[in-house]
């Protein structure tokens, strides 16, 4: 027997028009495809295939179904064989497990207890006395019974024992509740308590509609404002999008997906009639979430807040989506508005108008730089190009990439051939002019004296930092025994690069450095795979994210390395010096590689290789002598 999740993955990965096109001669008609029906041997184009709906239908014999149904009927296969064949076509391994009926999915207990908890929470919200405060809050936000029922909103009473007693009577034991994330352990006495108390509860479901977690919102001002379930066997927040189980079919039909920031944004927009809307369970989209989105929609609209944090999330999410081949547009709402307040005040038609006026992701970046004077003189124009090249490099779609190159050439007054050459050399470290730009902005025009755009700025101090023996909150360096590790002094491995190790140590201690270092030297240039993994994990999260969340998906060896680095108490090294050494190392390696290519190249190929070698040598000289002003 094949698991439901595997079947769904195979079905979603399949291009129904391409698969059926192997057996039927199809022609595109609008957004659908038409051809002769293979089931009644028709001659006319009465057989329709709709990629949006993932369905086929014959208007004569009324045969219809999805791609798996087609393979079963057309080739005379049973369900398992059809799924296996389709898996081979789309590159997903499908394993039939005959004993599965005797060995249920290990995640089933968690799904079951979380669904039971969700039912309890909705019952508490309806309770005349218990849920009065929560219902008043919802009424104040303009959410009626329809919204509550559609999204399964509930209330966790302040007396957490009520939930435990209810679930115990249903046969769920203490360990089951703990595994599902409904209980947390008190560090001081190892006892457990309910995770959610006195909070409005939003059930979080996976794309197949199974309960995997909860998001709890405080009704008052007590921190934290939002509290999510802890990671568990069924819940890894980097893989889940709130509302996806309701949005996926609408996204297929509309060929678009809206990404907003919060639960209430999703609810408001969806109730307004735009059902293809989801929210990440953090700030910026992760790689896994972006991959999930593009399975359902080729075009994505980002509707984050317009403050600095929202703009950072917009740019991080946009880059991740471009890497997965999506077309990305950014929606601008009036200052101070979010999708919830905007739709409440002006209605869904006004949001549709804002979607029509949405700007392309790259255009937004270019305009931000232009408004701040980054194209006003040569000094800042070079830096502007450096800031925009990562977007071009991230863009998977070749036509979109070419359009971006043309747009940058227009904005910067540079030859597009030169931009293309730069874009095709993603590992090339900063040039002399960029190295000079890092040191001083003295020659900037008045408008350019403003901070750089938030696409790659970071706050000066992280709001929250995780350390080896727990967590600390506040600003400045933590002092005292709770910060110092009791582990033995860390030892670097023999093959470990000391410069890479020091840079990662600095990023762990001062998270504001992560983006600053990444724009100069990314994790792809690291030689040590463990340190590169730490760098990528840090880069994928906001500076104020808990490091326990950052490290949730890495190996134990990498976690131990992070603890080791955090236990060091030495003052940070000269970051500029360390970065320059890495850049020099990378340049030297590239020069060495080109020298080998020149030896093997034909006479026709050598001039281009030698010209590139000259450019690299000039960049290397600029880094060795940063005060020089060469030609």
Question: What's the CATH code of the domain at 202?
Answer: 3.90.980.10
DSSP for residue 545: S
Give the Cα separation of 626 and 439 in Å (integer). Answer: 9
Contacts of 535 (CB under 8 A, 6+ apart): 503, 504, 507, 514, 518, 522, 523, 526
This model's pTM is above 0.75: no
Tokens in use for 621? Answer: 């000289």
Which of 425, 449, 473 corresponds to the end of one domain?
A: 449
Say if residue 465's pLDDT is above 60.
Answer: no
Same domain flag for 35 and 97: yes
Percent of the chain with pLDDT over 90: 30
Report the sign of the C-alpha dihedral through residues 444, 445, 451, 456, in that order: negative
Same domain flag for 563 and 586: no
Return the pLDDT at 503.
85
| CA 89 to centroid of chain Cα atoms | 27
Average pLDDT, stretch 37-54? 87
Return the pLDDT at 186.
64
Same domain flag for 113 and 218: yes
Question: Do 229 and 179 touch, CB atoms closer than 8 A?
Answer: no
Q: What confidence category does residue 405 fall into, taking pLDDT thresholds of 50, 70 and 90?
A: very high
Question: Do 204 and 257 touch, CB atoms closer than 8 A?
Answer: no
DSSP for residue 451: P
Closest C-alpha among 205, 248, 200 to residue 226: 200
Same domain flag for 471 and 555: yes
Same domain flag for 319 and 272: yes
Kindly report, residue by residue over 179-207, the tens digit of the pLDDT. 888 988 765 556 778 889 999 999 999 88
Contacts of 327 (CB under 8 A, 6+ apart): 298, 299, 300, 360, 397, 400
Say if residue 291's pLDDT is above 60.
Answer: yes
Q: Answer whether residue 630 is part of any domain.
A: no
Q: Answer whether residue 187 is part of any domain.
A: yes
Return the pLDDT at 105.
66
Say if residue 433's pLDDT is above 80.
Answer: no
Residue 33: strand pairing partners = 28, 49
Among 79-88, 335-344, 549-558, the range with the most confident prediction by mean pLDDT is 335-344
Mean predicted lDDT score pLDDT of the chain? 80
Count other C-beta atoms under 10 Å from residue 453's C-beta.
21
Same domain flag for 282 and 304: yes
Tokens in use for 177? Answer: 């509740």
Return the pLDDT at 354.
95
Which of 317, 334, 357 corresponds to the end of one domain?
A: 357
Q: Which of 10-19, 313-322, 412-421, 461-470 has the lowest mean pLDDT?
A: 461-470
Return the pLDDT at 189.
58
Burial 471-503 (b: 16+ CB within 10 A, else e): ebeeeeeeeeeebebeeeebeeeeeebebbbbb
Say if residue 605's pLDDT is above 90.
Answer: no
Average pLDDT, stretch 343-348? 94
Same domain flag for 156 and 247: no
Q: What confidence category does residue 626 fall into, taking pLDDT thresholds of 50, 70 and 90?
A: low
Q: What confidence category does residue 98 fall into, taking pLDDT thresholds of 50, 70 and 90?
A: low
Same domain flag for 73 and 171: no
Give the Cα separation of 291 and 320 in Å (integer). Answer: 9
Q: What confidence category does residue 490 fall into, taking pLDDT thresholds of 50, 70 and 90?
A: very low
Give the Cα separation of 572 and 76 in Å (integer). Answer: 68
Same domain flag for 142 and 166: yes
Question: Do 92 and 9 touch, CB atoms closer than 8 A?
Answer: yes
Q: Answer whether residue 474 is part of any domain.
A: yes
Return the pLDDT at 78.
82
Q: Tell me the residue range of the domain where 74 lies.
A: 4-102
Q: 159 versus 631: which is more confidently predicted?
A: 159
CATH code assigned at 289: 3.40.1360.10
Tokens in use for 360? Answer: 């392309």
Q: Answer whether residue 125 is part of any domain.
A: yes
Question: Do 373 and 447 touch, CB atoms closer than 8 A?
Answer: yes
Say if residue 486's pLDDT is above 60.
Answer: no
**Tally of domains within the chain:** 6
Say if residue 424's pLDDT is above 80.
Answer: yes
Q: Answer whether residue 459 is part of any domain.
A: no
Give CA separation, 251 vs 258, 294, 421, 449, in Å.
9, 10, 37, 42
Question: Do 490 and 568 touch, CB atoms closer than 8 A?
Answer: yes
Say if residue 443's pLDDT is above 70.
Answer: no
Q: Answer whether residue 454 is part of any domain.
A: no
Taking each helix axis as running N to C, give the angle between helix 348-356 and helix 339-346, from 0 to 180 degrees, rounded to the nearest 10. 120
Give the Cα separation of 474 and 152 in Å (integer). Answer: 36
Helix (H) or strand (E) holding 202: strand 199-205
Which of 235, 253, 272 corresponds to the end of one domain?
A: 235
Q: Answer whether residue 63 is part of any domain.
A: yes
Q: Which of 241-245, 450-454, 553-557, 577-581 has the lowest mean pLDDT?
A: 450-454
Same domain flag for 415 and 443: yes
Average pLDDT, stretch 162-169? 92
Same domain flag for 406 and 471: no
Return the pLDDT at 185.
72
Average pLDDT, stretch 549-558? 79
Q: Answer whether residue 455 is part of any domain.
A: no
Q: What confidence category does residue 463 fall into, taking pLDDT thresholds of 50, 70 and 90?
A: very low
Question: Do 49 and 17 touch, CB atoms closer than 8 A?
Answer: yes
Give the Cα separation of 366 and 246 in Å (integer). Answer: 35
Q: 53 versus 416: which is more confidently predicted?
A: 416
Return the pLDDT at 241.
95
Residue 228: strand pairing partners = 215
Same domain flag for 373 and 415: yes
Return the pLDDT at 578.
73
Percent of the chain with pLDDT over 70: 84
Please give the backbone phi and psi of residue 604, each rounded to the nearest 5 degrees, phi first: -70, -30
Q: Could you tell me where the DSSP H helices lie in 471-602?
A: 498-509, 513-518, 529-539, 547-550, 556-566, 575-600
């Amino acid at each position: 027997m094949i698991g439901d999740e595997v079947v769904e993955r195979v079905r979603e990965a399949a291009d129904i028009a391409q698969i059926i096109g192997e057996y039927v001669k199809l022609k595109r008609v609008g957004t659908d495809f038409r051809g002769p029906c293979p089931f009644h041997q028709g001659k006319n184009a009465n057989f329709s295939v709709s990629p949006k709906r993932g369905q086929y239908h014959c208007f004569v014999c009324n045969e219809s179904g999805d791609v798996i149904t087609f393979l079963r009927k057309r080739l005379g296969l049973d369900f398992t064989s059809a799924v296996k064949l389709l898996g081979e076509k789309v590159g997903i391994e499908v394993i039939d497990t005959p004993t599965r009926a005797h060995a249920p999915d290990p995640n089933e207990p968690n799904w079951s207890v979380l669904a039971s908890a969700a039912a309890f929470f909705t019952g508490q919200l309806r309770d005349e006395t218990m849920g009065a405060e929560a219902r008043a809050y919802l009424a104040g936000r303009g959410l009626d019974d329809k919204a509550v029922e559609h999204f399964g909103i509930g209330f966790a009473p302040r007396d957490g024992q009520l939930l435990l007693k209810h679930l115990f009577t249903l046969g769920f034991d203490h360990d089951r509740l703990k595994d599902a994330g409904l209980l947390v352990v008190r560090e001081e006495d190892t006892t457990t308590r309910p995770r959610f108390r006195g909070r409005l509860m939003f059930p979080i479901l996976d794309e197949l509609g199974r309960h995997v977690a909860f998001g709890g919102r405080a009704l008052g001002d007590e921190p934290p404002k939002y509290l999510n379930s802890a990671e568990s066997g069924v819940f890894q927040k980097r893989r889940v999008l709130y509302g996806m189980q309701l949005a996926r079919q609408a996204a297929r039909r509309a060929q678009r997906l809206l990404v907003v920031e919060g639960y209430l944004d999703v609810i408001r927009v969806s109730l307004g009639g735009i059902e293809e809307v989801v929210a990440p369970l953090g700030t910026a989209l992760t790689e896994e979430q972006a991959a999930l989105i593009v399975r359902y929609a080729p075009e994505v609209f980002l509707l984050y807040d317009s403050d600095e944090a929202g703009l950072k999330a917009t740019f991080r999410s946009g880059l991740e989506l471009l890497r997965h081949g999506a077309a990305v547009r950014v929606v601008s709402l009036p200052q101070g508005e979010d999708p919830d307040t905007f739709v409440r005040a002006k209605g869904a038609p006004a949001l549709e108008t804002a979607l029509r006026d949405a700007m392309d992701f790259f255009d937004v970046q270019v305009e931000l730089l232009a408004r701040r004077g980054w194209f006003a003189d040569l000094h800042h124009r070079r830096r502007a190009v450096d800031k925009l090249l990562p977007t071009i490099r991230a863009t998977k779609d070749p036509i979109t990439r070419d359009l971006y190159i043309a747009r940058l050439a227009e904005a910067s007054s540079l030859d597009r051939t030169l931009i293309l050459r730069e874009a095709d050399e993603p590992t090339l470290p900063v040039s002399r002019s960029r190295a000079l730009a890092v040191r001083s902005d003295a020659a900037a025009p008045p408008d350019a004296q403003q901070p750089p755009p938030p696409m790659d700025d970071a706050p000066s101090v992280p709001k929250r930092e995780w350390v080896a023996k727990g967590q600390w909150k506040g600003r400045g360096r933590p002092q005292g025994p709770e910060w110092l590790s009791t582990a033995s002094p860390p030892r670097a491995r023999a093959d470990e690069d000391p410069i890479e190790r020091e840079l990662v140590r600095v990023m762990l201690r001062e998270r504001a450095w992560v983006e600053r270092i990444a724009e100069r030297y990314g994790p792809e240039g690291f030689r040590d795979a463990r340190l590169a993994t730490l760098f990528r994990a840090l880069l994928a999260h906001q500076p104020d994210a808990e490091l326990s969340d950052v490290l949730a998906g890495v190996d134990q060896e990498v976690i131990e390395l992070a603890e080791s680095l955090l236990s060091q108490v030495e003052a940070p090294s000269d970051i500029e010096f360390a970065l320059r050494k890495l850049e020099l190392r990378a340049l030297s390696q590239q020069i060495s590689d080109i020298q080998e290519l020149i030896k093997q190249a034909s006479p026709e190929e050598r001039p281009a290789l030698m010209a590139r070698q000259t450019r690299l040598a000039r960049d290397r000289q600029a880094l060795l002598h940063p005060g020089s002003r060469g030609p």
